[in-house]
Amino acid sequence: MWVVIAGALVIGLSLGLLGSGGSILTVPILTYAVGQPDKLAIAGSLAIVGSIALIGSVPYALRRDVVWRSVLWFGLPGMAATVAGSQLAAYLPGALQLTIFACVMLVAAARMLRGGAAQAAQGAATPLPQRRRYIVRDGMAVGLLTGVVGIGGGFLIVPALVLLGG
């Protein structure tokens, strides 16, 4: 029980401080510490992290630190794609979903180790109409991944918006 409580605290701190990391931690905690079946852990992760992220965004919104244009261009297509991804997930075995989850974690770790400052500068220099197209595309990709494996929100959204200057 203490492992679950500690895990919940780490998830909350990660989301509050960094705006990411919740699902990366939640799915394994629900699967291995709580013992939930794969698909239940993935669905639960979406509900848990989504709720925490919504509540955590309130102070940022009150300080006017939210770029609502990015929420529109990235978030709405992402939400639609998340619904599509969750429908697709119904046809995938849980083991495949967890394998995809692990692969995404490894790719994200490798990309973080390589750094991305030059890419961020390049993305910010891209003209606004072109960035919007990329923001919509990336929102849909993140949404689809989020719906299929229950991860991808913060740890993909934050870099995508930084790289695209959103």
pLDDT by position in tens, the chain (length 166): 777 788 778 777 776 676 666 777 888 888 888 899 988 988 888 888 888 888 888 999 999 998 888 889 888 999 999 999 999 999 999 899 989 988 888 887 777 677 655 454 454 555 556 677 888 898 999 899 989 988 866 677 777 777 765 5
Residue 159: strand, helix, or coil: helix
Q: Output the pLDDT for position 91.
A: 95
Distance CA(76)–CA(140), nearest Å, equals 9
* DSSP, res 35: -
Alpha carbon distance 15, 22 (integer Å): 6
CB count within 10 Å of CB 23 equals: 29
Identify the H or E element spanning 105.
Answer: helix 94-114
Residue 162 near residue 20 (C-beta atoms within 8 A): no
Q: Could you tell me the residue ranges of all domains in the chain? A: 2-163
pLDDT for the residue numbered 87: 95
pLDDT of residue 114: 75
| Cβ count within 10 A of residue 41 | 24
Distance of CA 41 to CAs 44, 98, 107, Å? 5, 10, 22
Q: How much is the pLDDT for 63?
A: 96
What H or E segment, with its residue span, contains residue 36?
none
Distance (Å, whole) CA 104 – CA 85: 15
Quick one: pLDDT at residue 76?
93
